[in-house]
Amino acid sequence: MLQVDGVSKSYASHQALRDVSFEVAPGEIVAILGPNGAGKSTLMSLIVGLLKPDIGSVTIGGVDPTRMSQSQRSGIGFAPQELGLYPSATVEENLQYFAGLTGAGKKAVRRMARDAAEVFRVEDLFPRRISTLSGGEKRRVHSAIALVARPRLLLLDEPTVGVDVGTRREVIAAVRQLADDGVAVCYSTHYLPEVETLAARVVLLHHGRKVVDGPLAEMWRNDDRSRITFTFDGEAPLLQGTERKGDTLQIEHVGNPGEFVAVFFRSHAHELRNLKAVEIERPSLEDLLIALAPDLGTPGGEIK
Ligand code: ADP
Ligand code: MG
């Protein structure tokens, strides 16, 4: 669906993106992560054709977004980081205005506005003026606008910044549903628990470079800092390569804990017959990312 190939982009003398490549397939969610200034918003502007890469190329369904016709462009839904709503108009008027830009007729426009509103649950806000909404409500309307033309590719730039827990959940559920319906989603955020909930693929940008690209499960498999604790009824058996503490056995620095446990069960079936519980503790996503880009953990390189 989306192909970003060797893209670099500079603003005057500042290089915002360096040789970034990745792909997004239909039904896939890619979380674009990185500290402030990493290049996330620049990348989104390039993908929707608002900016042109200095080097490299972007194609969506094989087409360069800067050369798309109006109708091709409506297949891309984009909610930029800055809110773009008409404050004195109502929620319904805002949605219908953006739906109208596709050239659809009056009846279709009303239907498009309703459908998009349903996804981000803003139907109840239809008669309200934008200026009377809370920050979280505005964010939801802003995200819904990206959906009015029923895009096959959706880009949401920090859709959950400054919203409450309930809104965050709704936005995450909506994104999951859209991907399940086959929409390709690029989503930037600083809130790592969302990325885990969505089981998204992670693209981590750092100083304009892509430093990580992979599914979360793979990132955990490639890290060797999991700890496994076996708890027994009564004293734990003495087993080589494990540390015994009373009724528990601990194994540190495990790379692929699922596979490790499977092999451990097979080779120690007899010694494990009094086993009561198995606990696997994995490093947090934040720990994983900091291991991959160490200065992310320092101020200015913040992730939350
Ligand atoms: P992010 O969205 O990850 O916070 P951005 O893509 O907004 O990062 O910015 C990447 C870098 O490019 C930052 O250093 C930022 O200051 C710079 N930048 C962004 N937009 C402009 C612009 N219009 N003119 C000059 N520099 C810019
Ligand atoms: Mg940004």
pLDDT, tens digit (0-9, with 9 covering 90-100), for 65-111 = 999 988 788 889 999 998 889 999 999 999 999 999 888 899 999 99
Output DSSP code: residue 184. E
H/E segment holding residue 254:
strand 248-254
Q: Tell me how far apart the alpha carbons of residues 95 and 105 are, in angstroms, rounded to a whole number.
A: 14
Contact 282, 232 (CB under 8 A): no
Work out the end-to-end distance of the chain between its first and last CA atoms, rounded to an integer number of angstroms: 30
- Between the CA of 75 and the centroid of ligand 2 the distance, in Å, is 22
- pLDDT at residue 265, rounded to an integer: 92
Q: How confident is residue 292, by pLDDT bands cut at 50, 70 and 90?
A: confident
Question: Which residues, at least 6 apart from 112, have a Cβ–Cβ distance to it below 8 Å?
Answer: 95, 99, 102, 104, 148, 149, 150
- pLDDT at residue 299, rounded to an integer: 58
- pLDDT at residue 296, rounded to an integer: 66
Question: Which residues, at least 6 apart from 143, have a Cβ–Cβ distance to it below 8 Å?
Answer: 79, 120, 156, 159, 171, 174
Q: Write down the residue that tokens 């007899």 correspond to.
A: 270
- Between the CA of 101 and the centroid of ligand 2 the distance, in Å, is 25
- Between the CA of 34 and the centroid of ligand 1 the distance, in Å, is 12
11 lines ligand 1 (CB under 6 A): yes
Query: Which residues are placed with Cβ below 5 angstroms of ligand 2, an ion?
Result: 40-41, 81
Q: Which long-range contacts (CB under 8 A, 24 or more apart) does 237-243 make?
A: 237/268, 237/271, 237/272, 237/274, 239/268, 239/271
Could you give phi then psi for residue 203, rounded to 5 degrees? -115, 115
35 lines ligand 1 (CB under 6 A): no
pLDDT in tens, 5-43: 999 999 998 999 999 999 999 999 999 998 888 999 999
- Between the CA of 37 and the centroid of ligand 2 the distance, in Å, is 7
226 lines ligand 1 (CB under 6 A): no
- Between the CA of 189 and the centroid of ligand 2 the distance, in Å, is 9
- Between the CA of 300 and the centroid of ligand 1 the distance, in Å, is 14
Q: How confident is residue 304, by pLDDT bands cut at 50, 70 and 90?
A: very low
pLDDT in tens, 132-190: 999 889 999 999 999 998 899 999 999 998 888 888 998 999 999 999 999 999 999 98
Question: Which residues, at least 6 apart from 77, have a Cβ–Cβ distance to it below 8 Å?
Answer: 146, 147, 148, 149, 151, 153, 154, 155
36 lines ligand 1 (CB under 6 A): yes
Q: What is the pTM of this model?
A: 0.84
Question: Atom 5 (ligand 1): residue with closest C-alpha?
Answer: 39
Question: Atom 21 (ligand 1): residue with closest C-alpha?
Answer: 11
- Amino acid making up residue 182: G
- Between the CA of 10 and the centroid of ligand 1 the distance, in Å, is 9
pLDDT exceeds 50 at position 194: yes
Copy the structure tokens of residue 205. Answer: 């940008």
- pLDDT at residue 163, rounded to an integer: 86
Question: Atom 15 (ligand 1): residue with closest C-alpha?
Answer: 37
210 lines ligand 1 (CB under 6 A): no
- pLDDT at residue 302, rounded to an integer: 45
Q: Tell me how far apart the alpha carbons of residues 101 and 274 are, in angstroms, rounded to a whole number.
A: 68
Helices 135-147 and 165-180: crossing angle in degrees, nearest 10, is 10
112 lines ligand 1 (CB under 6 A): no
- Between the CA of 44 and the centroid of ligand 2 the distance, in Å, is 9
pLDDT exceeds 70 at position 219: yes
Q: Write down the residue that tokens 């792909």 correspond to.
A: 23
Cα 21 to Cα 3, 8, 186: the distances in Å are 8, 10, 14
Q: Tell me how far apart the alpha carbons of residues 106 and 229 are, in angstroms, rounded to a whole number.
A: 63
Pocket test of ligand 1: the residue of 4, 8, 10, 11 to mutate, having most ligand atoms within 8 Å of its CB, is: 11
From the CA of 40, the nearest ligand is: 1
**Closest-CA residue to 146 (of 136, 130, 157):** 157
Cβ atoms within 10 Å of 282's Cβ, excluding its own = 14
Mean pLDDT computed over every residue of the chain = 90
